[in-house]
Amino acid sequence: MAGTGIRPARTAGVRAGTGVGAGAGVRAEGGVRARAAVLVLIAAVLVTGCGGQRADGSKGADGSDGKGGGVRVDAPRTPSATPSTPATPAAPTPPPTPPTPPGQTSSPDPKLPPPLVSMDIAHAVEGGGRSVNITIDDGPDPTWTPKILKILRDNGARATFCMIGPQAEAHPDLVKRVVADGHRLCDHTVTHNTSMDHRSKAYQKDQILVAAGQITRASGGVKPLYYRAPGGAFTPYSRQIAASAGMRPLGWNVDSKDYEEPGVHAITHLVKHELGNGPTILFHDGGGDRGQTAAALRKLLPWLRHHGYGFGFPVR
């Protein structure tokens, strides 16, 4: 899939020597002088040859204490005086690192909003086990979505519907039926541009977030939980934008190629044959005559159940 490269991990910089050297300015002769002061028992005026430790523990930029070697008179000092603890200079504040969702291998761009869910492309089934993720793209469609909803219901199957924003907006009743039947919503952009990975960041962001708003309004407030780029045209940027809006990027393992209308048998054969690739299977309920898709699902869903598969949702 284009544009899914993993960027190298960014290592938080640690400056060498930070915090080291504080308080290092205490000179050994300070104690000798103190003992001399006690022994001589004269006036509590100590003649010192150096500045000793700075009150703030700091040192000059070159490591010196900034004092010359001249004799000077300090304030009275008693042997019992507790040496002051040098203040520790404040550690430099590291640049904020976005929290990384558990298991995420992608490195978020710290200049972008942090991901709320993993920005890695999901393929697995939530909760694991022997289940498949039925995913149905390019709708909702007033002809085909109701038919496919009925087939899913007849087979007790759940699915994830990757919707095109304006179509969701045009058919809010269908979006609500999808949600009411217990399926999940997925953002499939505004215009379904399969070359969007070559477009500007502003374009990609609009495609994702505008469609998410359209789907959410059509559903009556239920947000899409996934983002599937048309044709898999993800970029690291688009994956983070989606994940920062709570949508897990969603891939697939088995492309049923139902949109090529190769015949019902070809669709079912391909899916059965490629099921070993992984659990997420791609179908369509929009973009043309989906009669073959419906017929294939009518055969495949009972077959899957018969072979011990459950129907789940992709991980988030």
Taking CB under 5 A as the binding criterion, the range among 134-142, 201-209, 243-251, 290-298 that sits at the site for Zn ion is: 134-142
Choose, from 171, 187, 284, 285, the residue flagged as catalytic. 284
Question: What's the closest the beta carbon of residue 103 comes to Zn ion, in angstroms?
Answer: 27
Tokens of 297: 């699902």
Residue 285 interacting with Zn ion (CB under 5 A): no
CB of 57 or CB of 165, closer to Zn ion: 165
Nearer residue to Zn ion within complex by CB, 135 or 240? 135
Whether the link from the prior residue into 236 is cis, omega within 30° of 0, is no
First to last CA, the chain: 20
Tell me the window of 15-23, 129-137, 167-175, 249-257 that interacts with Zn ion (CB under 5 A).
129-137
Catalytic annotation present for 284: yes
CB of 188 to Zn ion, least distance (A): 6
- What is the token pair recorded at 255? 């492309």
Cβ-contact 236, 115 below 8 angstroms: no
Give 138 or 141: the residue with its C-beta nearer to Zn ion.
Answer: 138
How many residues interact with Zn ion (rule CB under 5 A)?
3
Rounded to a whole number of angstroms, the minimum distance from the CB of residue 229 to Zn ion is: 9
Among 120, 138, 141, 258, binds Zn ion (CB under 5 A): 138
| Shortest distance, position 286 Cβ to Zn ion, whole Å | 8
Q: Which tokens belong to 68? A: 């010359």
Q: Residue 120 or residue 137: which is nearer to Zn ion going by CB?
A: 137
Q: Name beta bridge partners: 161.
A: 136, 185
Taking CB under 5 A as the criterion, the residue among 25, 134, 137, 300 binding Zn ion is 137
From the candidates 137, 138, 258, 285, which is the catalytic residue? 137
User: Which of 249, 311, 260, 253 has its CA nearest to residue 282?
Assistant: 253
Residue 201 to residue 237: CA distance in whole angstroms? 7
Extended strands (E) in the chain: 47-48, 72-73, 131-139, 159-163, 184-187, 226-227, 248-249, 254-255, 280-284, 310-311
Q: Is 181 a catalytic residue?
A: no
- Alpha-carbon gap, residue 228 to 239, rounded angstroms: 9
CB within 8 A of 251, min separation 6: which ones? 1, 121, 122, 123, 228, 232, 280
> Which region, judged by CB under 5 A, interacts with Zn ion, from 2-10, 203-211, 227-235, 307-315?
227-235
Q: How far is the CB of 129 from Zn ion (least distance, A)?
A: 27
Using alpha carbons only, give the angle 209, 124, 241 rounded to the nearest 5 degrees. 20
Cβ at position 17, least distance to Zn ion in Å: 54
Q: Which stretch binds Zn ion (CB under 5 A): 24-32, 63-71, 104-112, 135-143?
A: 135-143
Residues with a known catalytic role: 137, 284
Give contact residues for Zn ion (rule: CB under 5 A). Answer: 137-138, 230
